[in-house]
Amino acid sequence: MNPATHARVTYGLLGVLVLLLGIYLGKYVLFPSEDARSETEAVAEEPAAVIRFLSPSENEEWKTGETREIVWEGGGKTVGLFLIDQSLESEGASVSVSDRVDAMPNEGRYTYAVPTDFKEGTYKWCLSSETNETSVCGLFFFIRASESQTRETIDGCDETFEGFPVTDVFEGEPKAVDWDTYPEARQFRTMIARDAKKGPNFAGHYTVAEWGCGTGCQNHAIVDARDGRIAAFGLLSAYGVKERLDSSLLVVNPPENLPPPEDLPEGLVTQYYALSAYELNLVCAE
């Protein structure tokens, strides 16, 4: 190849390279289209923000009847908030829920009215979020009885199953458990699903599922046989529960299961709950 031809080929190749470079700069840098932008940027979602509780602080004291704010930072667009009782957690329960709010918009704060009859003790708030594989908990704080309000402990409960009658009994095939109604329950799905398949044993169309959570500890979930919805989860007992298909009354630590008074663990009580509209309401404690 003579020098003139070689020069023409070289300049031709350089021209092609310049043209390709111009096309690239125009498409991806100067005037990128939506498709091009997605190709080059591969728009990755922002990394999940780490959840950190700001309030309540460690050993902070709340009073029954007060309205307080739980404050945190981080998490996804929606979060679930629940309260854990330290006294129940120490007995071997991996989840001991006293109060909860599911799938609420993440505003970084939640206003909570402490019930006037709330049990005194040590608690911590925990958050679940789609950006975190496990729940994140804050520090332990105290809930005490308000001086201006008397926490009522009802002695000599006379509640009976007959006093909470249920006549509508479900007789169909129990539906599969709907885990989306209580995502935290998935970790016990084998035991809950096993009992749910047996059909209702409580309040007409509910099944009380039970499994062990350590020495002297039983955990429970209540599943609606009609639609698989989990009505309650994390109900703990030390001496089991008692239920009937024809009644909405649920007895936690029934008297007939308790040891002699001298062997009874300090602070343990029998609790009587009534189920209504997917909520367990404390009726009496002794």
- The CATH number, out of the four listed (1.10.3720.10, 3.30.210.10, 3.50.50.60, 2.60.40.1930), of the domain defined by the range 52-144: 2.60.40.1930
Q: Mind listing the pLDDT tens digit of every residue in the chain (286 residues)?
A: 566 565 565 656 666 566 666 666 555 555 555 554 544 444 344 445 688 999 999 888 888 778 888 999 988 888 888 888 776 655 444 444 556 777 788 899 988 888 877 777 788 898 888 666 668 889 988 887 765 433 344 445 788 899 999 988 999 999 999 999 888 899 999 999 999 999 999 999 999 999 998 888 999 999 999 999 999 998 999 999 999 999 999 999 999 999 998 888 888 889 999 988 778 888 888 8
Q: What is the pTM of this model?
A: 0.50
* Reduced 3-state DSSP string for the chain: CCHHHHHHHHHHHHHHHHHHHHHHHHHHHHCCCHHHHHHHHCCCCCCCCCCEEEECCCCCEEECCCEEEEEEECCCCEEEEEEEEHHHHCCCCCCCEEEEEEEEECCCEEEEECCCCCCCEEEEEEEEECCCCCCEECCCEEEECCCCCCCCCCCCCCCCHHHCECCCCCCCCCCCCEHHHCHHHHHHHHHHHHHHCCCCCECCCEEEEEEECCCCCEEEEEEECCCCEEEEEEEEECCCEECCCCECEEEECCHHHCCCHHHCCCCCCCEEEEEECCEEEEEEEC
Domain ranges of the chain: 3-41, 52-144, 161-285
